[in-house]
Every structure is written in structure tokens, then in C-alpha cells.
Amino acid sequence: MFYIAIVGRPNVGKSTLFNKIIGGRPAIVDDTPGVTRDRNVAIAEWRGKKFGIIDSGGFEPESRDKILSQMREQTMMAIEEADLIFLMVDGREGVTSVDEDIAKRLRKSGKRVSLVVNKMDSHKQESAEADFMGLGFEDVFPISAEHSIGLDPLLKNAVGEIKEEEHVEPEDEERPVRIAVVGKPNAGKSSLVNTLLGKSRMMVSDVPGTTRDAIDTEFTARGKRWVIIDTAGIRRKAKVTAKLEKYSVIMAMKAIERADVALLMIDGTEGAAAQETKIAGLVQEAGKACVIVVNKWDAVEKDEKTALRYEEGIRNLLKFLVHAPVIFVSATTGQRVSKILEVVEEVGAEYNKRIATSALNGILEEATKRKEPPVFRGKRVKLYFATQASAAPPTFVIMANYPDGVHFSYQRYLANRIREQGGFNKTPIRLLFRKPAGRRTGERERGGKR
């Protein structure tokens, strides 16, 4: 995927721009609440082109005295991770020495840079743009992030560079399941990959000078081919910025987007917290299946109830991953590691499953009988018909007279019926509500595709 990073000193408006950009994509109707909104990496879409966007401002330090050094680190990281950089400056303040410092690093990197001059709220300020020419970038875009001025030319220029995504792989029964191993540094990802791969690992891991973000290793187990998307390559880069643990989120995202199933690794001796929530949110947003792997179980003091309590804690934290199985392993002793592929297989089967339209409509009919759809603006919502539009993740389109009238709790009710009756308990699913074509509509279409 094509990545854009927004860099610049604090307060120039990076988060504002980030939010405008991700706010502009069509809403996804998920069956799940609580996907974290607090984040700094997201998949965005503009004019049908998808890209990753990184708000380096989300990584700004709390204490002011460290700002400069950490900002340098952020900028370095953005340079490494992104294909295009938005260097953002404050059009009302003019060029500062910090802007110059960042610009110098960016020029050295040779990466494409768009200079974004923000806070150009009124026409009087047009001349300010000229002041910034001295930073040495040809592509200059005056904008007002807050008032959504000038975003079109900026994004048009940016996405123009994106090649049409090559993927859309042929439906191939034999296609190996792709697994991404994600989690905080030190959760035990490398150890697990080593244990899973055994000796075959040696053949790939020692390729010197690998600069790719992630190494894909194909292996055979349980009579099948699998691909593990290993973030070892990313780890090396991470050492540069070991202090910025938050960047592991970006790394996770790059692996997740190319996977079918994410193994979310949690260090069992520490438990899950904010960082895991963020990564889990990305898995969910990307529409990937997930298996939660609690590692280092050998090192956890436990009685017969520990696992149960542990799982409860995780479920509480990651409510939106109800469907993800939890498994307790030890990457170093190998305990239950072989079970992981078994679980991935089950999850993968549901993730790629399709059910017949007649069966689906049977479920819909029964569901609406058991519990009537809500009333919307004084009228009863009617659900006419459903189809499964796609698999991976299973996505269901439901035709309704008032797509906007299907409020969240009813959506969740329907999702649960489809899960239980259709056998989609271990995979994320998506519901999209649409107005049937040809009917006159006063309502916006609800939902969207990515």
C-alpha cells in the first residue's frame, strides 16, 4: 500500500488534516462497536484510491524539552515508512528554524515531499506561500485543514502517484493462508515465528541487507501451504527508534494489510493494554480475521482459573473482537504452538465462507419476525432482501427502505443472528445497508466498501 506521512512541528495542524482525510472516506457499517478512534495510523480512501496515512503528530512527546530530538526521530521514521511526505507548516507564522531543520532532512532523503502550508484561512494570506519556497520543495499546497480548503488539489496530487492495487488475487482454493504476527515489541513474535517455522527459517532470515518491510515465508504444515508475514525486517529498523514503541503500530499495520489472519500476540506476563487495543483496532478496521495469542504462558503463575480470568480481561478490553479465539501458548517451550495453526484453519474457513442467498434470507426473515426492525421518522424500517456480497471478510448487503434507520443495536442484533445461524462465529463480518436501486431516495446510502 501507498503510505503518506504528515510531518511538521507541533501545532501546525497535522492532526486536524489527518482527521479530515480519514473522515472523508465512506462510513463502514461494522457489526462491532468500540473500534478505537484514538489513533494515528489509518487506511484512508480518496477518489477510489486507498492509501495508508500516518499522523506523526500522534507520536509527539509530552515534555517540551524533548520535542526537538523526538521530532527528528519521528521525521526519520516517517521518511523510512512513507512513500510521500506532507511537510506541514503554519502559514501564519512563517518559516521557523524547526521547519528548516525538518526540511533539510527531508531533502536529503530524496523522498517525494508536498509542502503543505496550513492555516491559509483567508485570501489575504496568499503571499505567505512565497515565504516557504525557500524550503526547497516544488509542490506547494496552501490549505486550511480546519475549513477544508485546498484539500482537493493536495490529495489529487498525492493519489495520482498511487498505482492501481495489483492484488485481487484469483480465487484459488490452493492459495495459502497468510498470517501476520503482530504485537508489542518483546511479546515474543520472533520466538513464535521461529518455533512455527523450525529449521526452514534459516533459509530466509539471514539474507543480508534486506530492506523490505516484512519477509514472507512460505511453509508447509498440516498438509497445507501457509505464509507467515514476518516483521523481522521491520524490527531492524525499529532499533533506530526503540524508544518510540508506538511506532510498532505502523509496523503492525503494514503486515496486517497483507494478511488474511492476524495473530495478535500479547505478553502473558504483562497483559493487554492500550497498545494491543490499537493494533486490534487496526486488524478490525482492515477487515482481517484474528486469533489472540497469549504468549509466555510458561512464565505466568497460575491456577485452574487463571486462563479463564485472563480471557475475560481481554474480552473486556477488546470488545470488538468477540469473534477472535484466545489461545495460551509458550513460544519458547513450544507448548500449544501447534494448536495455533489448527485454530487459524478454523478461523480462515469461516473468513472465506459463503452461504447461499436462500439460507441468508431465511435467517433475515426469521430475525425480523423475532424482533421487529425499528421505527424511523415515524415509519417502520423494512428489510427486503439480503445477499452475501463477498467473503474475506464475509460481507452482507441488506436492502432496506431506510438504510439510515437501522440503528446500531438492531444492526448488532442482525449481525449476531447471522453469526449464530450462518456459522460465522470466529470471523469478523460486515453488514451494509442499502436502498434498492430504482427506488426514489431521500436517504443517503448507508455503508460502503473498501
List residues near ligand GDP by CB under 6 A: 8, 10-16, 57, 118-119, 121, 144-147, 183, 185-191, 295-296, 298-299, 330-332
Nearer to ligand GDP among residue 91 and residue 403 (C-beta): 91
447 neighbors 40 (Cβ within 8 angstroms): no
Nearer to ligand GDP among residue 107 and residue 147 (C-beta): 147
Nearer to ligand GDP among residue 16 and residue 217 (C-beta): 16
CA 408 to chain centre: 22
Nearer to ligand GDP among residue 190 and residue 388 (C-beta): 190
Nearer to ligand GDP among residue 83 and residue 298 (C-beta): 298
- Sign, CA dihedral 419-422-425-428, equals negative
User: Counting beta carbons within 10 angstroms of the beta carbon of residue 377, is it exposed (0 to 12), middle (13 to 18) or buried (19 or more)?
Assistant: exposed
Instruction: Quote the least distance from Cβ 240 to ligand GDP, whole Å.
Output: 15
Q: Where are the beta strands (DSSP E) in 111-223?
A: 112-118, 140-142, 177-183, 215-221
77 neighbors 243 (Cβ within 8 angstroms): no
Instruction: Quote the least distance from Cβ 313 to ligand GDP, whole Å.
Output: 19
Say how far apart CA 206 and CA 431 lie, in whole Å: 44
Instruction: Quote the least distance from Cβ 51 to ligand GDP, whole Å.
Output: 19
* CA distance readout (Å), 110 to 106, 136, 447: 7, 12, 39
* Kind and range of the H or E run holding 379: strand 379-380
Nearer to ligand GDP among residue 29 and residue 113 (C-beta): 113
Instruction: Quote the least distance from Cβ 280 to ligand GDP, whole Å.
Output: 16
Collapsed DSSP state (helix, strand, coil) of residue 394:
coil
Instruction: Quote the least distance from Cβ 6 to ligand GDP, whole Å.
Output: 8
Which residue in the block uniquely carries the three cell numbers 479465539? 325
Instruction: Quote the least distance from Cβ 330 to ligand GDP, whole Å.
Output: 4
Instruction: Quote the least distance from Cβ 190 to ligand GDP, whole Å.
Output: 3
Which residue in the block uniquely carries the three cell numbers 503500530? 249
Residue from 121, 119, 111, 69 nearest 86 by CA: 111
387 neighbors 434 (Cβ within 8 angstroms): no
Contacts 24+ apart (CB under 8 A), 123-129: 125/91, 125/92, 128/91, 128/92, 128/94, 129/91
Nearer to ligand GDP among residue 15 and residue 306 (C-beta): 15
Nearer to ligand GDP among residue 61 and residue 423 (C-beta): 61
* CA distance readout (Å), 425 to 197, 218, 348, 350, 432: 28, 28, 11, 8, 18
Instruction: Quote the least distance from Cβ 15 to ligand GDP, whole Å.
Output: 3
Residues in a beta bridge with 141: 116
Nearer to ligand GDP among residue 8 and residue 348 (C-beta): 8
Collapsed DSSP state (helix, strand, coil) of residue 50:
strand
Nearer to ligand GDP among residue 245 and residue 311 (C-beta): 245
Instruction: Quote the least distance from Cβ 149 to ligand GDP, whole Å.
Output: 7
Instruction: Quote the least distance from Cβ 14 to ligand GDP, whole Å.
Output: 3
